[in-house]
Amino acid sequence: MLMQMDGVISQAQETLGSLVFQRSTFRGVNSKLSNVSSRLPTVNSIISAINKKKSMDTIILSLVASVCTFLILIYWLTK
């Protein structure tokens, strides 16, 4: 039992290390992308359009999830 817990803890530590590395990689990519967007106005407008679409997609997905949850709740209460 103790060996299994040690295995899970070591796996969690490896995962944490991997996530920290990914975060630093993405921060580096984000800073490089910001440099490019400041140099090229067209790239900046494309990036802002992508961000707007991403925000709209998030809102739509949230609304759909909320409606589905509400309908499931109504179904559950009427049974």
Residue 18, domain extent: 1-39
Domain identity same for 25 and 56: no
Q: Are residues 6 and 19 in the same domain?
A: yes
| Residue 63 banded pLDDT, cuts 50, 70, 90 | very high
pLDDT at 60: 93
Long-range contacts of 52-60 (CB under 8 A, 24+ apart): none
> Based on the structure, what is the number of domains in the chain?
2
Residues 27 and 52 in one domain: no
34 and 7 assigned to the same domain:
yes
Q: What is the pLDDT of residues 19-47, one digit of tens each?
A: 888 888 877 777 777 777 677 777 778 87
What is the share, in percent, of the chain residues with pLDDT greater than 70?
A: 97
- Average pLDDT value for the chain: 83
**pTM: predicted TM-score of the whole model, two decimal places:** 0.45
Give the span between the Cα atoms of 30 and 53, in whole angstroms: 18
